[in-house]
Amino acid sequence: MAPTIDRQGYWGRPTSTLEWCEENYVVSFYIAEFWNTVSNLIMILPPLYGAVHTYRNGLEFRYICSFLGLSAVGVGSWCFHMTLLYEMQLLDELPMIYSTCVFVYCLYECFKQENSISLFPIVLLLIFSVSVTLVYLQWKEPVFHQVMYGVLVACLVMRSIFIVTWVYPWLRALCYTSLGVFLLGFLLWNIDNIFCDSLRASRQMMPPGVGVVTQFHAWWHIFTGLGSYLHILLSLQIRSTYLKYRPKVKFLCGVWPTLHIEPQRMS
What is the tens place of the pLDDT at every residue in 64-90? 999 999 999 999 999 999 999 999 999
Neighbours of 78 (CB within 10 A): 23
pLDDT band at residue 4 using 50, 70 and 90 as cut-offs: very low
Q: In the predicted model, is pLDDT for residue 172 greater than 50?
A: yes
Neighbours of 58 (CB within 10 A): 8
221 is in an annotated binding site: yes
Give the start-end residues of each E strand in the chain: 246-252, 256-262
Q: Which range among 40-44, 205-209, 261-265 has the greatest average pLDDT?
A: 40-44
pLDDT on residue 13: 94
Among the ranges given (114-123, 176-185, 187-196, 245-254), the one the predictor scored with the smallest mean pLDDT? 245-254
20 is in an annotated binding site: yes
Q: In the predicted model, is pLDDT for residue 2 greater than 50?
A: no
pLDDT on residue 265: 52
Q: What is the mean pLDDT of residues 237-266?
A: 83
pLDDT on residue 253: 79
Torsion (CA) 37, 104, 114, 168 in degrees, nearest 10:
100
Q: What is the mean pLDDT of residues 159-187?
A: 97
Buried/exposed 133-169: b ≥16 CB within 10 Å, e otherwise: beebeeeeeeeebeebeeebbebbbebbeebbeeebe
115 is in an annotated binding site: no
pLDDT on residue 255: 82
pLDDT on residue 263: 60
Question: What percentage of the chain has pLDDT greater than the value 70?
Answer: 96
217 is in an annotated binding site: yes
pLDDT on residue 266: 47
pLDDT band at residue 19 using 50, 70 and 90 as cut-offs: confident
Q: What is the mean pLDDT of residues 195-201?
A: 94
> Could you tell me if 202 and 210 are in contact, meaning their C-beta atoms sit under 8 angstroms apart?
no
Q: In the predicted model, is pLDDT for residue 267 greater than 70?
A: no
pLDDT band at residue 3 using 50, 70 and 90 as cut-offs: very low
Q: What is the mean pLDDT of residues 3-10?
A: 69
Q: Give CA–CA dist 184/76, Å, rounded.
A: 22
Q: In the predicted model, is pLDDT for residue 209 greater than 90?
A: no
Would you call 84 helix, strand, or coil by DSSP?
coil
* 115 vs 77 pLDDT, higher one: 77
pLDDT band at residue 38 using 50, 70 and 90 as cut-offs: very high
What distances in angstroms separate CA 86 from CA 16, 77, 181, one per listed residue?
Answer: 4, 12, 29
24 is in an annotated binding site: yes
